[in-house]
Amino acid sequence: MAGEKLETVDVVQEKPEGPSIKSFGDFIDFLKKELKPRGNIVTPFNIISLPIMLLGYAFIVYRLAVGLGRPVTNLNQEYPWGLWIGFDVVTGVAFAGGAYVLCFIVYVLRAEKYHPIIRATVLNGFLAYLFYAGAIVLDIGRWWNIYNPMVGNDFGVNAVMFLVAWHFFLYMLAALIEFSPAIAEWLGLRRVRKILGAMTLGAVIFGITLSTLHQSGLGALMMMAKSKIHPLWYTEFIPILYFVSSIFAGLSLVIFEGAISHKVFGPQIDEEHNKSYDDIVIGLARICAVTMFGYFFLKALLLVHEHAVPYLGSTMGFWYLFEVIGFVLVPCFMFVSGAQQKNLSTIKFAAVLTMVGIILNRLNYTFIVYNWYVPLSEKYWPAPMELVITASIILTEVWAFRWMVNRMPVLRKPPAWAIEKEH
C-alpha cells in the first residue's frame, strides 16, 4: 500500500493546465508517457495480483482452445450457468448499479452533496460492465458469433436476452459518455470537454432508463426456469426484486470501494472532499437502509402471495431465511444504527454483509437453488480454473481502475479550467 501512496504524490504536483495535445502524434507520445508505471512497482498488492492475472490469462487461452467443459468449468447439462454468469455477469452488474443510482441522485435530483464521489462511481460502473459483463465472451460457447444480436439478420426481438444484450452495450456507451469529461481533462482537450460535459444529462437519463430495464431484465431471464427454481425464490416478480436489490447492492459497493480508495489514493483527495466523506457515507447508508427494508417487505409479501410459507420449514427454508434475514434484514438494521450513531465501521461492515447477500442471492438463482431437487453429489460447484479466471478478471479491473485514478481527475479536483466551465 505504501507504494501506491508514493506513486500518487507525484500526480498531485503535476502542472495544472495538463498536456497540450495538438496532433495525433502528441497523443501517442502522451499515451506512451502515461502508460509507464509511476512510483514503486514492487508492492505487496502487485506481487500477489500479477501472478494470478497471468495464470488467469493462460487459462483463458486454454478455455478458448478446448471449450467450456472440464477441466475448465464444472458446467454440465443440468447446470448450464455457473460462476461466470452467476457471479461475474449477474452479480457484477448488480454491483455496478451504484453508478446509475448516484447519477440519479446527483444529476437528476441535484443532490450536490454526493458530487465528490460521482466520478469514481461512474468509472467503477463502466469498468465493471467492461470487464465483468465482458466476461460473458468467455462464457458463451460460440463467442465468435457475439456480434449476431447486434448486426446479425435474425434478431430475436422478443427475447429477454436480446434486450439485455443491447442494453449492456448501450449502457456501456452511456457510462463512457458520463465519465468522458474526466478523460478530456486528462488529455487537456478543452473544447471536447465542453461538448462532452453538455452531453452528461442526456447520457445519465438514457443510462438510468437502460439500467432499470437490464437490471430487472437479468431477473427476467430466469422467468422460464419456473419448474427449476425452488418456489421460495421463484415468483413472477423476480425482475422487480433484481431491480430493487441492485440499488443497495450498488451503493454497498460504493461504500466498500470508497473505503479502500480512501486508504490507497488518500493523498489525491482534496481536503474539502475528505471532510464531506463521512457525511456522504452516512447518507448512502440511509438510502441502503430504506431500500433494503422495502426489499425485505416485498420479499415477505411475495412469500405469502406465492403461497410459499409452508416451505419455510424445510432445509431450503432455512437457506432462504439465512439469506433474507442474515444478509438483508440484519445489514439493513446495521445501516440504520450506523447512520444514527455516525459509526462508519458499522456501515462498512453492513456494506460487506449486503454484498455477500447479493452474491448469495444471484448465485441462488443461477445454480444453488436452481435445480434444487438434484442430489448434492451432482450439483455444480465452480472448478479451480473458473475461480482463477474470475479472480484475474476482477484484478485486471482493479488495475485499470488504479491506472485511471492515478492519471485522470477521478478522486482529485479537475484542473482549474474545467471547474470554471462547469459553473
String of b and e for 36-74 (b: at least 16 CB within 10 Å)? eebbeeebeebeebeebbeebeebbeebeeeebeeebbb
Min dist CB 120 to other proteins, Å, is 15
Of 150-169, which residues contact other proteins (CB under 8 A)? 152, 154-163, 165
The verdict on 58 binding other proteins (CB under 8 A) reads no
Instruction: Tell me the C-alpha distance between 417 and 410, whole Å.
Output: 16
Amino acid identity for residue 151 in this structure: V
| For helices 238-264 and 190-220, angle between their N-to-C axes, nearest 10 degrees | 140
With H, G, I as helix, E, B as strand and everything else as coil, classify residue 31. helix
Of 12-20, 147-155, 289-297, 333-341, the segment contacting other proteins by CB under 8 A is 147-155
Q: Which of 145, 314, 340, 341 binds other proteins (CB under 8 A)?
A: 145
The verdict on 208 binding other proteins (CB under 8 A) reads yes
Nearer to other proteins, 52 or 290 (CB): 290
Instruction: Tell me the C-alpha distance between 233 and 242, whole Å.
Output: 12
User: Residue 252's closest CA among 178, 172, 332, 322?
Assistant: 332
The verdict on 86 binding other proteins (CB under 8 A) reads no
Q: Are 183 and 195 in contact (CB under 8 A)?
A: no
Nearer to other proteins, 113 or 263 (CB): 113
Q: Are 210 and 239 in contact (CB under 8 A)?
A: no
Q: Which of 77, 315, 345, 377 binds other proteins (CB under 8 A)?
A: 77
Nearer to other proteins, 158 or 345 (CB): 158
The verdict on 75 binding other proteins (CB under 8 A) reads yes
Q: Quick count: other Cβ atoms within 10 Å of Cβ 403?
A: 14
Min dist CB 270 to other proteins, Å, is 9
End-to-end CA distance of the chain: 36
| For helices 118-131 and 160-187, angle between their N-to-C axes, nearest 10 degrees | 130
The verdict on 228 binding other proteins (CB under 8 A) reads yes
The verdict on 198 binding other proteins (CB under 8 A) reads no
Contacts of 412 (CB under 8 A, 6+ apart): 11, 12, 268, 269, 270
Nearer to other proteins, 35 or 61 (CB): 61
The verdict on 247 binding other proteins (CB under 8 A) reads no
Could you tell me how many residues of this chain bind other proteins (CB under 8 A)? 71
Nearer to other proteins, 358 or 418 (CB): 418
Instruction: Tell me the C-alpha distance between 207 and 200, whole Å.
Output: 10
Of 3-11, 40-48, 213-221, 255-263, the segment contacting other proteins by CB under 8 A is 213-221
Of 402-421, which residues contact other proteins (CB under 8 A)? 419-420
The verdict on 190 binding other proteins (CB under 8 A) reads no
Of 266-285, which residues contact other proteins (CB under 8 A)? 272-273
The verdict on 205 binding other proteins (CB under 8 A) reads yes
Of 35-43, 78-86, 301-309, 329-337, the segment contacting other proteins by CB under 8 A is 78-86
Q: Which of 6, 31, 143, 195 binds other proteins (CB under 8 A)?
A: 143
The verdict on 301 binding other proteins (CB under 8 A) reads no
The verdict on 224 binding other proteins (CB under 8 A) reads yes
Instruction: Tell me the C-alpha distance between 144 and 137, whole Å.
Output: 9
Query: Helix-strand-coil percent breakdown of the chain, rounded to 5?
Result: 75, 0, 25
Q: Which of 35, 65, 304, 376 binds other proteins (CB under 8 A)?
A: 65
The verdict on 213 binding other proteins (CB under 8 A) reads yes
User: Residue 175's closest CA among 218, 216, 119, 133?
Assistant: 119
Instruction: Read off φ and ψ for residue 229, nearest 5 degrees.
Output: -90, 135
The verdict on 81 binding other proteins (CB under 8 A) reads yes
Nearer to other proteins, 53 or 163 (CB): 163
The verdict on 181 binding other proteins (CB under 8 A) reads no
Nearer to other proteins, 149 or 382 (CB): 149
The verdict on 141 binding other proteins (CB under 8 A) reads yes
Nearer to other proteins, 12 or 31 (CB): 12
Instruction: Tell me the C-alpha distance between 369 and 319, whole Å.
Output: 9
